[in-house]
Chains A and B, each alone.
Chain A
Amino acid sequence: MMEPTSGHHSKFPPPAVSVRELEKVYGRGSASVRALGGVSIDFDAGTFTAVMGQSGSGKSTLLQCAAGLEAPTAGTVTLAGTELAGLSESALTVLRRSRVGFVFQAYNLVSALTVRENILLPTRLGRVRADRQRLAQIAERVGLTNRLRHRPAQLSGGEQQRVAIARALFTNPDVVFCDEPTGALDSTSAARVLDLLRESVDIDAGTVVMVTHDPTAASYADRVVTLADGHIADDLSAPDVGTIADRLARLGARGADGSERCTGPSPA
């Protein structure tokens, strides 16, 4: 199939996130860096997608553009049925606040606020009344019911990430973007975090798009998309850890050879 990858499921309902011909260039003139060179992809609702690639492949840039945190140089992004192109910063923020969740690798939480306040932050800034029951539910789901009054400094790295996920899930968003959420965690905490993400897709019918370099983390996903040099190099469906690691290694070897990059899924 040479057409741009679309969802493996039927075209109805519409994808949660859809990007077309997305390009991003940083810097100007001789110092410019082409992070994305025309990427088109749909992320279907109710799926867990992992985006992988070597550093410099453009995966974080893809995530940030898709989430509206970064403005693309060219191309369109449609998020939760809305095109992001013409929106002002304020409108983008309002959209992100209620329909999108974001989990970074580190520095997710405002250190001055308690866990509870951090979780409720998007809601409060959106002037919406916080649902206490939902807060209790989410807190239990992430396993931090007893830590609600503590500050981030009193939590471990894994616990902080779980708070970030709680915050992301609290508003019941259309899609949750995660940028290397388990990068700084040990395997147990990482497993807990990934379980939470998996649950949100399986139980709540949410959508998760996760950038990662860890094949184990990627194995939790329904679909693994690999980027290389700003283009999609690979698109696998429900792979296991071994296949993923294999693909990555091959990509790395090919890159080291200096051979041309792929523009579509490679033959298995």
Chain B
Amino acid sequence: MTSIAWRLLRQHPARLVATALALVIAAAAVTGCGVMLESGLRYHGAVARYAAAPVLVATTALTVTEGSGEDADTERTPLTDRAPLPASLPDAIAALPGVRAAISDTSVITRAAAGGSVSAVQLHPWSATALTPYTLLDGSAPSRADDLALSRSLADHLGTRIGERVRLYLDQDLRSYTVTGVVAPAAGAGPRDSAGTAFIADRAMTSLSNGKTYVIGVLPDGHVSPAQLANQVRRVVDAPGSPSDGAHPEVITGVRRGSVETMAVDNGREFVIAVSSTFGGCALVIAVLVITGTVGLSTQQRHRDIALLRAIAATPRQVRRLVVWETLAVAMFAGAVGVLPGVVAAGWLRDQFVDRGIIPVDFETCISWLPPVVAVGCGVVIAVVTAWSASLRPSRVRPSQAMTETTVERRIGPVRALLGLIALAGGLLLAVVSASATGDTAAGVAVGTVFALVTAVALLGSVVIRMGAAVAAPWLRMLGATGRLAAATTSTSAVRLASVLSALVLAVGLGGSLWFVQSSVEHVAREQATAGLLADQVVMGGPAGLASGLTRRLADLEGVRAAVGLDRGTWFTARDGGTSFSVQGIDVDGLDSVVDLDVTAGTLAALKGRSVAVDTLSAEALHAHVGARLHGWFGDGTPAEMRVVAIYRRGLGFASMTVPRDLLAAHAEGGRNDLVLLRLNHADPGARSRLRQQVAAQAPGSLLESRAAFRATLDSEIVQNGWTERTIIAVLLLYVAIAAVNTLVMHTLGRRREFAVLRLAGTTRRQVLRMAALELVLVLGLTLLVGLAIAAVTLVPLVKGTTGTSVPYIPAAGWIAVIGGVVVLGALATAVPACMALRTLPVEAIGVRE
């Protein structure tokens, strides 16, 4: 059987081009996602700063357990801010046998200025030099409260030497430090921070950080192995019994130490894993639909060959084996071809993520044999299953039936109709359920809904087409003979056209829904941010942040009506296994003059102490109302219970939750994403220049932007954040568009004989083309009707769930793209093969086996 299959395949390879192409793209997508997934799983960040300490103690993740007993499901979420360790821990660890030293490390990020240069810098206590280790190159260790030792790269950047002074912009004010020494990491390694590293005296660090410790590095006695040391330390660190929910200190060894150095490692890892699994899953689901269509169509077009084999000598099983072997060969070939592009794509994706700051620069794509094997394996499984099910009917039908010159189509069978209705019901159910989907699961739910509904179309397609032809028949007949022909041929080839319809509907349904969910979310966010921003000027701190005293000082400036500081952080809820929400901490005084959050219940003036205002979407998700209590943790793992004092609408444009600034500041690393929003007195002409001077003096390196410029920055930020989703959606849409074009081309090319019969009967080429055009109009009309309905059913609940508005935002360009795209592609995909099919002489074409 194999050799016969091979010979048949070699004769007409063009027949399988559509299937091959679909499989190649699927293999590339699965390989790319597999490589990213594996790289993400293996990524732990470089162990640079703590290279010399084999055992670390830190709190890096939040564990939340839902359910109990057997059903207990524990979620482990990485924290977004560093969590302080219990104060008694360093001494308790140092007292253990086998421990040479337990060194506490803390860091403060700030700005350093010397001469004319400014640089971001990370301050550490001097004792932490032993953890890398850093060795003194020159000078001496800092001993007094205002002594400073710089790393060599920082010293070069600032252009300072030993004995000179450096200004550090710390919380309350500007302090001047003396450089006493220059250090460099041993063995040429050391952290690849964009901020330079500097060390101050231990006592000075303690007062700066209020005695907090974030990491304890444990150094062993000479003869103790890291594993033994870890066990020792665990006795002190791990709580007895099963730990309750929350963020607890852990003992970390080996490769995992990399995630202790920066929070970006774990968060980047989670992101990559989530994105690659979602994308890979969606690609596979769509691949199944597409390949089912192409394999079905190509089997249909060979019914004569199959009938002959059945009549002569092949049992149904042998025929099925033939089709399966053929498709298997294509799958192996396609898999081999698709793997390399997939690997290249993964590398490109990694570079894009690094460029956009989503993952740290030391994230490397590691390519093992596993993703290609899985990709080829998936392709093979899909191909075999679709080929087998496509060949079921042709193999079982009586040979003489299949050998007859005309293929009379049957009415839809009961099993098929039932399955179609089940798929339809399933799709509608999914659509209803999708109203409660959150942002990250939105794409997956949309694909699932579209999948179910398009499967229903594929199963019930022949009925839809016959009904459509029946409805359109009177109008078509008015157009003369070609119209009548068009109506008749559409009606009688309904089963064949069903494959074409489902491929086109998939493209319209997916394109109309996925893309516009994303654009709706972005549009609403932009709208809310624009409408809610009342400030005239905004100071943006950047990575080094802004000192908390800056807001007060700017508020005291003449000409400034209000100055409000705004920090951003994260909050994890105790429900739903620790889902995270974005939080903004804002000064309550003067809040109303710089932002309008569109409050619908309660009042923001009540934001004092442990209180929170929640946006409408989060309120729904958390079942919260004014007066309710929310339990959860801040980004640094500190448990928090807050009372809801207000509910507002503009959560997408700002943040899902709003708390008093002092509350958040205590739990968020002072720095990232800090803003100061200002309202100026317009009657005072000198206010702006005064403001600019002050900001330059007090916070060098920060940006001062007007309202318009800030809005533009926000816009681009929203667009940037959506880049990943949009890229994934674009790739998926390209895939289904290619599949739709393929199917249409194959279908038209397969009508060569039919056109020849018409031409021999007296139809001119022009008339045949006109007939094909009318049929296309009918099919495209049905496509748009059904496809847009599917898109609407998918889109509306999803948009309601993710943005709170029931009307999705579809720009005019979107309508044009979807409808115009379908029409143009459909026309090209029919016209070109039709012209090609009409080029052969009818007498020759009539003898052609389809």
- Alpha-carbon distance between A122 and B849 when the two chains are bound, in angstroms: 21
- Flag if A64 contacts B7 (CB, 8 Å): no
Q: Say if the beta carbon of A25 comes within 8 Å of chain B.
A: no
**A110 near B398: Cβ-Cβ < 8 Å:** no
Which residues 399-444 of B have a CB within 8 angstroms of A? 399-401, 403
Query: Within 8 Å CB of B313, what residues of A?
Result: 93, 96-97, 121-122, 125-126
Q: Which residues of B contact A102 (CB under 8 A)?
A: 311-312
Within 8 A of A (CB), among B1-26: 1, 4, 7-8, 10-12
Across the interface, A70 reaches (CB within 8 A) one of B305, B314, B317, B400, namely B400
A265 → chain B closest CB, angstroms: 29
B398:A94 contact, CB within 8 angstroms: no
Cβ 8 A contact of A71, one of B304, B308, B398: B398
The CA of A50 and the CA of B842, in the complex, are separated in Å by: 35
Whole-angstrom CA separation of A90 from B314 in the bound complex: 8
CB pair A113 B7 closer than 8 Å: yes
A110-B311 in contact given A69-B400, A117-B7 (Cβ < 8 Å): no
Q: How far is the CB of A53 from chain B (nearest CB, A)?
A: 18
In the complex, which range does the number of interface residues on chain B fall in? 20 to 34
B316 within 8 A of A: yes
Docked pose: A93 CA to B396 CA in angstroms: 11
Is the CB–CB distance between B4 and A124 below 8 Å? yes
Q: Which residues of B contact A112 (CB under 8 A)?
A: 7-8, 10-12
Nearest Cβ distance between residue B309 and chain A, in whole angstroms? Answer: 7
Contacts of B7 in A (CB 8 A): 112-113, 117
| A93 lies within 8 A of B4 (CB) | no
Given the interface contacts A90-B317, A97-B313, does A113 sit within 8 Å of B4 by beta carbon? yes
Give the residues in chain B near A117, CB-CB below 8 Å. Answer: 4, 7
- Chain A residues 64 to 112 lying within 8 A of chain B, measured CB to CB, are 64, 69-71, 89-90, 93-94, 96-97, 102, 104, 107-108, 110-112
Set of chain B residues within 8 Å of A126, measured between Cβ atoms: 313
Inter-subunit contact B4/A69 (CB<8 Å): no
Closest to A70 in B: B400
Residues of B near A125 (CB, < 8 A) are 1, 4, 309, 312-315, 318
A167 contacts the other chain (CB 8 A): yes
User: What are the residues of chain A within 8 A of B310 when measuring CB–CB?
Assistant: 93
Would A110 and B309 be within 8 Å (CB), given that A90-B316, A90-B317 are in contact? yes
| A94→B315 contact, CB < 8 A | yes
Q: How large is the interface on A (under 10, 10 to 19, 20 to 34, 35 or more residues)?
A: 20 to 34
Bound together, the chains give a CA A121 to CA B310 distance in angstroms of 11
Which residues of chain A are near B396, meaning CB under 8 Å? 89
Contact check, A89 vs B8: say whether CB atoms are below 8 A apart: no
* A122: chain B residues within 8 A (beta carbon): 312-313
- A69, B11: Cβ atoms under 8 Å? no
Q: Which of A69, A93, A104, A107 contacts B315 (CB 8 A)?
A: A93
Contact with B along A135-152 (1 / 0, CB 8 A): 000000000000000000
Residues of B within 8 A of A97 (CB): 312-313
Q: Which of B1, B316, B400 contacts A93 (CB 8 A)?
A: B316
- Chain B residues with CB below 8 A from A111, complex form: 11, 849
Of chain B, the residue at the smallest CB distance from A65 is B400
CA distance A121 to B313 in the complex (A): 7
With a CB–CB cut-off of 8 A, which chain B residues contact A71?
Answer: 398
- Kindly list chain B residues whose C-beta atoms are within 8 Å of the C-beta of A113: 4, 7-8
CA distance A89 to B305 in the complex (A): 18
Tell me how far the C-beta of B75 lies from the nearest C-beta in chain A, rounded to whole angstroms. Answer: 53
Q: Are B11 and A167 in contact (CB under 8 A)?
A: no
Contacts of A89 in B (CB 8 A): 315-316, 396, 398
In the complex, what residues of A have CB within 8 A of residue B400's CB? 64, 69-70
Q: Which residue of A lies closest to B12 (CB)?
A: A112
Q: A69-B399, A104-B403, A117-B7 are known contacts. Are A110 and B305 too (CB-CB below 8 A)?
A: yes
Contact yes or no, B312 A121, CB < 8 A: yes
Chain B: which residue is nearest A164 at the CB level? B312
Report how far A118 CA is from B676 CA in the complex, Å.
84
Alpha-carbon gap, A71 to B400, bound state (A): 9
Closest residue of B by beta carbon distance from A108: B308
The complex places the Cα of A108 from the Cα of B307 at a distance, in Å, of 11
Which residue on chain A has the smallest CB distance to residue B11? Answer: A112
Closest to A97 in B: B313
A44 to chain B, nearest CB (A): 25
Contacts A112-B10, A112-B12 given; indicate if A107 touches B308 (C-beta within 8 A).
yes
A69 touches B316 (CB 8 A): no
Residue of B nearest to A71 (CB): B398
In the bound complex, CA of A235 to CA of B628 (Å): 99
- B398→A70 contact, CB < 8 A: yes
* Residues in chain A near residue B403, CB distance under 8 A: 69, 104, 107
A26 and B312 CA atoms in complex are apart in Å by 23
- In the assembled complex, the Cα of A116 lies from the Cα of B629 at a distance in Å of 85
Given A64-B400, A69-B399, verify A110-B314 contact (CB < 8 Å). Answer: no
Instruction: State in angstroms the CA–CA spacing of A124 and B315 once bound together.
Output: 12
- Complex: A124 Cα to B5 Cα, angstroms: 13
In the assembled complex, the CB of A266 is this many whole angstroms from the nearest CB of chain B, namely 30
Contact A110 B8 (CB under 8 A): yes
Give every chain B residue within 8 A of A96 (Cβ-Cβ).
312-313
Task: Write the B194-229 contact mask toward A (1 if CB under 8 angstroms, else 0).
Answer: 000000000000000000000000000000000000
Residues of B within 8 A of A107 (CB): 304, 308, 403, 849
Since A69-B399, A97-B313 are in contact, a sample of 12 more A-B pairs with Cβ atoms closer than 8 Å, ordered by chain A residue number, is A70-B398, A90-B315, A93-B313, A102-B311, A104-B311, A107-B403, A107-B849, A108-B308, A112-B10, A121-B313, A124-B4, A125-B314
What are 21 pairs between A and B in contact, CB < 8 Å? Answer: A64-B400, A69-B398, A69-B399, A69-B400, A70-B398, A90-B316, A93-B310, A93-B313, A93-B314, A97-B312, A110-B308, A111-B849, A112-B11, A112-B12, A113-B7, A121-B4, A121-B312, A125-B4, A125-B314, A125-B315, A125-B318
Top-7 shortest CB links A-B: A112-B11, A122-B313, A69-B400, A93-B315, A125-B313, A90-B315, A70-B400
